[in-house]
Amino acid sequence: MKKYLCLTLALALSLAWDSPNTPKKNFVDVQGIDPSIKPGDNFFRYVNGRWYDTAKIADDQTGVGSYSFMNIPQKELLQHILDSVSKTNHSIGSIDQKVGDFYASGIDTLTINKRGYEPVQPILKRIDAIGNLTSLFKFVADELKAGNRSIISFGISPDDKNSSKNIAHVSQTGLGLPNRDYYFKTDPTSLQIQEAYKKYLSTLFELTGSDPASTVKNATVVYNIENQIAASHKTNIELRDVKANYNKISIIILNQTQPKIGWSTLLLNLGAKTDSIDVGQPAYYEKLNELLGSVSLSEWKIYLKAGTLKTYVEALSKPFTDASFEFSKVLSGQTAKKSRRQIMTQNVDGLLGQALGQLYVKRYFNEDAKKRVLALVNNLQKSFENRINHLDWMSDSTKQKAKEKLYAITKKIGYPDKWRNYDKVPIDRTKYFENLLALGRNQYQFQLARLNKPVDRTEWGTTPSTVTAYYNPSFNEIVFPAGILQFPYFDFAADDAINYGGIGMVIGHEMTHAFDDQGAQYDKDGNVKNWWTKEDYEKFKTKTKMVTDLYSSFTVLDDVHVKGALTLGENTADNGGIAIAYDAFKMTRQGQDTSRLDGFTPDQRFFLSIARIWRVKTRDAFMLTYVNTNPHSPAIWRVNGPLMSFAPFYKAFNVKPGDKNYKTEDQRIKIW
């Protein structure tokens, strides 16, 4: 999105709180406040404790509350759309027909169950026919083009060092557990997960006709190959190293160093014409080349069968989906399967997202929200500039570069200016499995068409209905889909304190990502390029180490620690987001006032809103997986962590020495 309305600062300040005709609502859950908890001891519990202790997680969910879990009620809105369009005849090729018929094909469990695993049998037979590495990689390429990545993860996206051009990338893949660490841990929970996964593999083989003796043996073969692959994988923390994960290598060299992969032939089969490729994690492909010589072809065929069944399991009959769920229960703690309607709503959103997005926006999105939120974005941009100007640790030359990058950020709000079309993909309401393959192939061709072409900066990386927001360093853009522009993040009738503590904090968070430990390595055009003085960057790294150390001291589930190095970027953005949003809020009329509303000052309402947007409760099993794999801190620390370093919060709630979350001046994080 490149064109925006030019809004004056006056409009930016004239939000709902300033309008005398706007009806007042109680956006603070006053009854939910727990006065027995001191704000300085645990602000998350002070605001959310009563809700947390009584909130019930549905059997078919892993959590409840705000942010990502707001996508649960969002999906209900989408279900209403899908139920409607799937029951009506539409002209062939129209958005309504494709969306409605794909959804209908996936909820027709009678047909899906009747077919058993028949839809995937042709693929399994192709695996049986593999006779050498050449035919193995022909299979791998053909399946990759339909969405089954198996041992090659291939994609097209901007070149980190020339962000105006799209190039080919490959990254590590090949595992069935969440990441490498799950294969090597020996604690009781990890061992339970490993055994559940092996049982899952065995069940898949059993359901496709293998004899009982072979099922366990085959599962062991698959697990052992994955275990060897896992040893070559980088950890989630190592994957955060931007420069180490950029390795543009010529195909000539790859052919010489990894002859068993046969890169030239692989790329030819993929239809990808290129003389070089960015190999994100070279150690994986080096290990793969080695394993192609040490693991027998028969064992690779067993591995590929398992991967194929896992890829397509949700499109097969009930015994397959039951097996998948039994394994997922161990990882998530979820006790009941999601309904087929829920699963298909998610699948339509994922595979026909911008088609469904058009229907969603037409029915549920208020166009005025784009103007209002853009006003907040512009206000926060001014706030961020002011904070950069007053930094005491950064030189003037680096400040100038930082401000240039700040004002070069592209702002995308609501939905794309240009919708993606799905004209080339046929959808048949009687053939769910075939629809999945058609959509997978369509997605691959959509990506492939970008190769060696100029980057289209109007593209979106999420669907309009999703409750999320993101910063894309290669595009130097911040994106706020329609889905997040609702309470508790944003409401037309809310006062400034609520909106700035809600969507304002999220905006500030995404802006700060342009200057976190990863984003700071990209220039204003989206290239990995140093724009810092050496001295300033060393000071920056010293400050970010404080973030890592502080968050590593936080615990969840009794003695499980937050991974400070894994969550560094998000924690930096949370700390910056609150500071930037607060300064922007102080530019508003309410921010400069002291009048109480619901018994709270404007500043107090701002912080109450921040705690409210992270009101989340999850299952313990889900949280354990989350801490090990997710770059965001758990919700409680997205509230308490930044606030224990923020002086205006101390003043607003009279936080004193002796309070559990009190930090001395020298202990507080102050980056942006």
What would the pLDDT profile of 41-62 be if each residue is shown by its tens digit? 999 999 999 999 999 999 999 9
Asked which of 278, 295, 316 is the last residue of a domain, the reply is 316
**Does residue 119 fall inside a structural domain?**
no
pLDDT at 9 over 50: no
How many structural domains comprise the chain? 2
pLDDT per residue over 454-473, tens digit each?
999 999 999 999 999 999 99
Q: Report whether pLDDT(572) > 90.
A: yes
Looking at residues 527-546, what average pLDDT do you find? 98
Find the domain containing 43 and state its range.
Answer: 9-65+375-420+459-667
Q: Say if 176 falls within a structural domain.
A: yes
Residues 299, 386, single domain; the answer is no
Q: Are residues 309 and 385 in the same domain?
A: no
- Within a domain: residue 2? no
Contact criterion met (CB below 8 Å) for 297 and 130: yes
- Work out the average pLDDT over 412-438: 96
Work out whether the CA dihedral 214, 174, 446, 259 comes out positive or negative: negative
- Mean pLDDT across the stretch 264-271? 98
Q: How is residue 179 annotated by DSSP? A: S
pLDDT 10s digits, 168-184: 999 999 999 999 999 99
pLDDT at 20 over 70: no
What pLDDT shows up at residue 25?
64
User: 494: domain CATH number?
Assistant: 3.40.390.10
Q: Can you give the pLDDT at residue 71?
A: 86
Same domain, 379 and 309: no
For residue 185, give the nearest of 224, 227, 247, 126 by alpha carbon: 227
Residue 382 lies in a domain: yes
Residue with tokens 């366990």: 216
Same domain as 269, residue 390: no
- The enclosing domain of 171 has a CATH number of 1.10.1380.10
Q: Which residues of 400-430 are buried (b: 16+ CB within 10 A; e: fewer)?
A: ebbbebbeebbbbbbbbeeeeebeebbbebe
Whether 465 and 583 map to the same domain: the answer is yes
User: Which pLDDT score, from 0 to 100, does residue 558 have?
Assistant: 86
pLDDT band at 165 (very low <50, low <70, confident <90, very high): very high
Return the pLDDT at 338: 94
pTM: 0.93
Structure confidence by residue, pLDDT tens digits, 202-242: 999 999 999 888 999 999 999 999 999 999 999 999 999 99
With 50 as the cut, is the pLDDT of residue 8 above it? no
What is the average per-residue pLDDT within 124-133?
A: 98
| pLDDT at residue 135, rounded to an integer | 97
Residue 559 has pLDDT above 60, yes or no: yes
Q: What is the end-to-end Cα distance of the chain in Å, rounded?
A: 27
pLDDT exceeds cutoff 50 at 96: yes
Domain end among 316, 349, 366: 316
| pLDDT above 60 (res 23) | no
What is the pLDDT averaged over residues 89-115? Answer: 96
The predicted pLDDT at position 68 comes to: 86
- Distance between CA atoms of 160 and 274, rounded to whole angstroms? 16
* Residue 471 sits in the same domain as residue 584: yes
